[in-house]
């Protein structure tokens, strides 16, 4: 079941990236085959965001930081079998914060 969940998450992630128009496949037709090379192009628009959008980004960063702090506290007392998942969550939140900060810096 966990492999089905992982496959579903991977497909949803690819679909989400493709729907944003930032997924380009080099070397031919698009395919989910592992032998295909995938290039992800990140674009940051320099459009000015509204104050409400800027505040929402700052709030999301603050919320993520609170979650990171809580996960880091949990990590210190968590059993060994849980630590990998906790670290993955922390890394994902840090990556999300980096993207949000870049968006904030570019448009606010």
Quote the CA–CA distance of 16 and 59 in Å, as a whole number: 23
Q: Is the pLDDT of residue 93 over 60?
A: yes
Q: Which residue has the higher pLDDT, 98 or 21?
A: 98
pTM of the model: 0.56
Under 8 Å between Cβ of 86 and 78: yes
Question: Which H or E element spans position 23?
Answer: strand 23-26
Quote the CA–CA distance of 89 and 97 in Å, as a whole number: 12
Give residue-wise pLDDT tens across range 2-33: 444 444 444 444 444 344 443 333 344 444 44
**Within 13 Å, how many C-alpha atoms sit on residue 2's CB side?**
0
């Amino acid at each position: 079941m966990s492999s089905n969940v992982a496959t579903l998450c991977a497909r949803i992630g690819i679909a989400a990236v493709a729907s944003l128009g930032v997924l380009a496949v080099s070397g031919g037709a698009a395919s989910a085959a592992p032998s295909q090379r995938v290039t992800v192009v990140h674009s940051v628009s320099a459009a000015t965001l509204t104050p409400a959008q800027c505040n929402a980004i700052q709030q999301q960063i603050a919320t993520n930081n609170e979650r990171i702090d809580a996960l880091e506290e949990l990590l210190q007392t968590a059993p060994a079998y849980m630590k990998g998942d906790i670290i993955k969550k922390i890394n994902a939140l840090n990556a999300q914060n980096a993207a949000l900060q870049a968006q904030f810096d570019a448009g606010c």
